[in-house]
Amino acid sequence: MTSAHLLLVVHTGADAAAHLVEADAEHPQLAVMDVAATRGDGIFETLSVVQGHSQALEAHLTRFERSARMLDLPAPDRGIWRDAIIAVAERFADHDEAWVKTVLSRGVEGQPLPTGWVYGTVSPDFRRERTEGLSVALLDRGYRSDVAQSSPWLLAGAKTLSYAVNRAAVREAQRRGADDVIFVSTDGQLLEGPTSTVVLKRGKRWSTPPDDVGILPGTTQADLFAAASQWGLEAVVEPLTPDDLRAADAAWLVSSVRHAAPVRAVDGVPMAVDAALSAAMNGFLHARRT
């Protein structure tokens, strides 16, 4: 792995004002009692960077603020975080694809100030996932689709640091011979992947599930849907079921760094891959400069 670059967002003083400090990503920076490490009590964003340009920057900052509100964290200083992301992304101008991650935790146990940092590194090669696609396992998430309304303390739809469950789900998929996961609610709604948004194509209709089923609003899906008409598609946000997925002409898992990965099988049953549209979607996503 090419070495990472790191910038810390440091909060100081009674007003917890934030400023940037550059740090060496090769050396430890986090206090052992930071709740990022001990409780996963914080939030993050992962942005894709193409030739030094961060993609969907404002949408990621907006979602970072949304997650902070959901966890009752201090509102991130948008200007400082934007500057930090841009500064780290620019270090990767010589690389075609990289990614930058922002993290904000509640801070060190017993101390009042949050901890924030931004780092970046070069992306893996996702050509195979983007062309050949992924086999997915449908896994029960164990929550109803109204979990965000009934039990907001479960933080459904927030981008929290507690991704151990998402990682465990991918290992379960691998045990079942699949590459990735699509979660389903206990009442049968199609939700999202552990790190991606589901998009279905049925005829000229592109669909994705609504956020209010307790999923993360995807920045990649939003950019694709805003551009749908250039492929003659109508983009619709609507409740979806596993049967809709199985009956779809094509499906994708879309996300910031991997971009658009077509689904080539669901629970071992092959699905058609729309190679031409997948290539067009990935070309569009790669070309974004903001």
**Which residue reads 């992306």 in tokens?**
123
Q: How far does Cα 93 stand from its chain's mean position?
A: 22
Single out the residue of 102, 47, 5 nearest to residue 259, CA to CA.
47
Residue 195 lies near ligand PLP (rule: CB under 6 A)? yes
Helix (H, G, I), strand (E, B) or coil at 119: strand
In terms of CB distance, is 135 or 195 closer to ligand PLP?
195
Which helix (H) or strand (E) segment is 43 a member of? Answer: strand 42-50
In terms of CB distance, is 248 or 254 closer to ligand PLP?
254
Helix (H, G, I), strand (E, B) or coil at 189: coil
Single out the residue of 237, 250, 187, 10 nearest to residue 108, CA to CA.
10
Residue 207 lies near ligand PLP (rule: CB under 6 A)? no
Q: Which span sits near ligand PLP by CB under 6 A: 116-124, 236-244, 254-262, 274-282?
A: 254-262
Binding to ligand PLP in span 2-61, by CB under 6 A: 46
Which helix (H) or strand (E) segment is 62 a member of? Answer: helix 57-70
| Chosen residue from 55, 123, 145, 255 binding ligand PLP by CB under 6 A | 255
Residue 219 lies near ligand PLP (rule: CB under 6 A)? yes
Number of residues that bind ligand PLP (CB under 6 A): 14
Q: Which span sits near ligand PLP by CB under 6 A: 33-41, 88-96, 211-219, 278-286?
A: 211-219
User: Do the beta carbons of residue 133 and residue 263 sit within 8 Å?
Assistant: yes
| Chosen residue from 123, 256, 278, 282 binding ligand PLP by CB under 6 A | 256
In terms of CB distance, is 160 or 241 closer to ligand PLP?
160
Residue 121 lies near ligand PLP (rule: CB under 6 A)? no
The DSSP output letter for 139 is E
User: Do the beta carbons of residue 202 and residue 260 sit within 8 Å?
Assistant: no
In terms of CB distance, is 115 or 256 closer to ligand PLP?
256
In terms of CB distance, is 133 or 194 closer to ligand PLP?
194
Single out the residue of 181, 201, 186 nearest to residue 244, CA to CA.
201
User: Do the beta carbons of residue 115 and residue 108 sit within 8 Å?
Assistant: yes
Least distance in angstroms from the C-beta of 126 to ligand PLP: 13
Least distance in angstroms from the C-beta of 240 to ligand PLP: 15
Tokens of 177: 């011979």
Q: Which span sits near ligand PLP by CB under 6 A: 102-110, 170-178, 188-196, 241-249?
A: 188-196
Residue 145 lies near ligand PLP (rule: CB under 6 A)? no
Q: How far apart are CA 254 and CA 192, in angstroms?
A: 10
* Interface contacts to ligand PLP, rule CB under 6 A: 46, 192, 194-197, 216, 218-221, 254-256
